[in-house]
Amino acid sequence: VIDHDVRSPVAEPARSARRHLDGDGWTGLALVAALVAMTLVTGLLFTFSAAVMPALADADDRTFVEIMHRFNDNPVFQLTFTVALVLTALAAVLQYQRRHSADVVRWTVATLVLYAIVIAVTFAVHIPLNNDVDQAAEPDRITNLANLAQVRDDVEGSWVAWNIVRTVLSIASVVALGRALLLHGRNTADRKAGPSASSPAWPPPLGKGIAS
Amino acid sequence: MIDGYARVLTVIAAAGAGLAAGFYFAFSSVVMIALDRLSPNEGVKAMQSINRAAPVPWVITCLGTAAVTFALAVVAFADLDETWAVYLLIGAAIYLASIVLTFAYHVPRNEALAALDPAGPGATNTWRTYLTQWTAWNHVRAATSLAAAVMFILALRVH
């Protein structure tokens, strides 16, 4: 059992930030989970930018509207987006509470800012466009070819262009969060090498049994 | 702790495997479900079109990551008494399994689908079989890539 509230007194100012690290297990876990969720979101957006939307460019108007409508019907987008946001925010809060070194906090906050723009773009651009698609896909309108052509014309260009913006920002979020995790790992290693080492071995040393 | 160029490669592999997992995840959780609800004729045409567009991004992300992963496996193999090396080796093995699965399972079925006439006789049955089984094995690709990403991230964090 680890007492997360014990904070060792600080002697050297240069290392003070690092010595304040406590409860690294949980912060590290939150960062790892956030990074995994963030790469999933990025992969999802990337797939639409690079594979799905270019393929739909060939489709006729009715197929385009029907497929987009089916995509919107699916809660996975919202769910994954929310999980990534919650985990990143959790990592930031844990770091703040446990007085992590400023560099880790800075990169985590940078991730949150970048990701907030991804979500803002989603609300400002994609959700209104998706609503237009959903209206055009109503049973009484789906046969109206002129309307389908009009909606597709209005939706496709902006949806695709802003999705590329979302993808790039999301990749930047992954990079920033990866940087935070690297710095966090490095700080933890420094601290473990120092006299105040008290954290549990997490992740566990898998290699001991296999290599020896 | 992993040092130097191996550390940079591990970060790239972690992000690449996560991106690959997201790529497969998009198909498993959104795209195939949408295609399933279209008429078989429309579904086949859409998937054929996706299969024409997907190889380039797939090669860049998934196969690119595979190359990095392979290099890491060699580095890890040479340093197997280190804890991180074991994580790296397991991650590399899991990730490369997803690539082997793609070439062994998905690519032949995509080629068969490309040759299918959407309006021809038996197209509906072929499409139904493709949709169910392709998607099931795609879940496996998503899960293995995600597991590999986690192993790479953990490799960065063990000491």
Q: At residue A203, does pLDDT exceed 80?
A: no
Q: Could you tell me where the DSSP H helices lie in chain A?
A: 16-19, 24-47, 53-56, 61-72, 76-97, 102-121, 127-136, 145-193, 207-211
Q: At residue A12, does pLDDT exceed 70?
A: no
For residues A25-38, average pLDDT? 90
Per-residue pLDDT reduced to its tens digit, A45-79? 999 999 999 999 988 999 999 999 999 988 988 99
Chosen from B11, B45, B49, B59 to mutate, greatest number of chain A CBs within 10 A: B49
Q: At residue B103, does pLDDT exceed 80?
A: yes
Residue A183's pLDDT is what?
86
Alpha-carbon gap: A203 to the closest alpha carbon of chain B (Å): 6
Residue A19's pLDDT is what?
40
Q: At residue A166, does pLDDT exceed 90?
A: yes
Q: At residue B50, does pLDDT exceed 70?
A: yes
The pTM of this model reads 0.84
Cβ pair A206:B90 closer than 8 A: yes
Burial (0-12, 13-18, 19+ Cβ within 10 Å), A181: buried
Burial (0-12, 13-18, 19+ Cβ within 10 Å), B44: buried
Q: Which residue from B61, B90, B149 is facing A36, i.e. has the nearest CB?
A: B149
ipTM over 0.85: yes
Per-residue pLDDT reduced to its tens digit, B23-49? 999 999 999 999 999 899 999 999 999
Picking from A189-193, A200-204, A208-212, B67-71, which range would have the lowest pLDDT averaged per residue?
A208-212
Choice between A202 and A6, residue whose per-residue pLDDT is larger: A202
C-alpha separations of B43 from A60, A105, B28, B51, B130 in Å: 12, 46, 15, 12, 11
Cβ pair B42:A66 closer than 8 A: yes
Phi, psi of A9, deg, nearest 5: -65, 150
Q: At residue A97, does pLDDT exceed 90?
A: no
Best CA proximity match to A21, nearest among A140, A211, A207, A188: A188
Please write down the HEC assignment for all residues of A89-127. Answer: HHHHHHHHHCCCCHHHHHHHHHHHHHHHHHHHHHHHHHH
Q: At residue A135, does pLDDT exceed 80?
A: yes
For residues B75-98, average pLDDT? 94
Q: Does B39 touch chain A (CB under 8 A)?
A: no
Cβ pair B30:A71 closer than 8 A: yes
Q: What is the mean pLDDT of chain A?
A: 83
Q: Does B90 touch chain A (CB under 8 A)?
A: yes
